Structure 1
Amino acid sequence: MTRRSQQQTGFTLVELVVVIILLGILSVYAAPRLFGVSGVAAYSVQNELLSSLRLTQIRAMNRSGKCNRWLMSTSRAQQISLDADAGSCDAAFSSTEDATLVDITSEQGVTLSLTSDDASPYLDFDSLGRATQCTGGGCEITIRGDDQTKICIETEGYIHACN
């Protein structure tokens, strides 16, 4: 009698268990990002703020002698006093909307905070693109929601996400 060896196709029990464990670990980290509205909102607000800051910075490098102030509160950020001369900038939000406006009042559970050298709620950009409030060691904008994310403004003007 001849014995034939049969080739088995499929996965072994060990391989299946390993795959299930890996999927479980992955889902623990991915699920909050997919289903947490405030967590996703924090990252979308971060992108909006990066765009707003960079636009204000570019305007400052192209418009010397003008006010290039970027003001921030816990729920809003915007470049203000666009037509004012340097040194005569407001410290309050204007009623006019601009491309730099980031309004997060509709984003529930998301708040903003700015850490700068002089603890002011605004950043003044010079003609080299540097924020004058960040020359001592850089500034940091914290966006808090289900997740927390940050934006860093370096002493020489580099603006980037620094989670």
Structure 2
Amino acid sequence: MKARNTLGFTLVELIVVIILLAIISAYAASRYIGVGSFTAFAIQDSVISIARQIQLNRMQSNTQTLTDDVILSISPTCFGSKASCDTPSDSRSDWVMEEGVRFSAKPNLNIIEFDLLGSPLGAASAGVAITVHGTNSQTQLSICPNGLISSSECY
């Protein structure tokens, strides 16, 4: 028998290497892309939670006077209580400000006030649609006339 001189790779070895490179490349690409395209969706739950927190604080205040702690502020760069957005502090949990994220409301409102039952007052009493604009994504949440705050539309 004549001994074969093997100077190359078999087809199976080449396919295994190509599959391993594809898996590693897919993993590396997903890590490189990051969460930029998911920013709006990642922040949506925080925004809903903060709006509900401010609404609940207003309902528990049990006074007719509105303070900056119970007024919801919506600016392009900050969403939260008026007091927190005016002077952001890490010791407070009622605001969100994230690089690359913008906030807007329809109708165009800067603040939303709630009554003691949690319903929005004034121009917001017909309902407000709040849009969270991320780097490559956007999402919307609603503050309904009855006070419901959710990621779905008001009916």
TM-score range, shorter chain: 0.5 to 0.7
**What secondary structure is seen at the aligned counterpart in 1 of 2:139?**
strand
Matched AA of 1:94: T
Q: Is this contact kept in 2: 1:42–1:144, CA < 8 A?
A: yes
Number of the residue aligned with 1:45: 43
Q: Is this contact kept in 1: 2:74–2:109, CA < 8 A?
A: no
How much is the aligned-residue C-alpha RMSD, in angstroms?
A: 2.6
Number of the residue aligned with 2:12: none
Unmatched runs of 5 consecutive residues or more in structure 1 = 1-30, 83-91
Q: Runs of 4 or more off by more than 4 Å in structure 1? A: none
The question of 1:94 aligning with 2:84 is answered no
CA distance in 2, matches of 1:39, 1:150: 15
Number of the residue aligned with 1:161: 151
Matched AA of 1:131: P
CA distance in 2, matches of 1:58, 1:143: 22
CA distance in 2, matches of 1:104, 1:81: 17
Number of the residue aligned with 1:25: none
Instruction: State the 1:36 CA deviation.
Output: 5.8
**What TM-score do the two structures reach when normalised by structure 2?**
0.65
The question of 1:104 aligning with 2:98 is answered yes
The question of 1:130 aligning with 2:119 is answered yes
Unmatched runs of 5 consecutive residues or more in structure 2 = 1-28
The question of 1:142 aligning with 2:142 is answered no
Quote the sequence identity (%).
22
Instruction: State the 1:42 CA deviation.
Output: 0.5
Q: Deviations over 1:92-122 (max 9, x none)?
A: 71354521111113xx3x2211113xx3311
Number of the residue aligned with 2:79: 77
**What TM-score do the two structures reach when normalised by structure 1?**
0.62
- 1:144 to 1:81, Cα distance in 2 relative to 1, 3 A: closer
Instruction: Report how many residues are paired.
Output: 117
Number of the residue aligned with 1:13: none
The question of 1:55 aligning with 2:53 is answered yes
- 1:153 to 1:76, Cα distance in 2 relative to 1, 3 A: same
Instruction: State the 1:72 CA deviation.
Output: 1.5
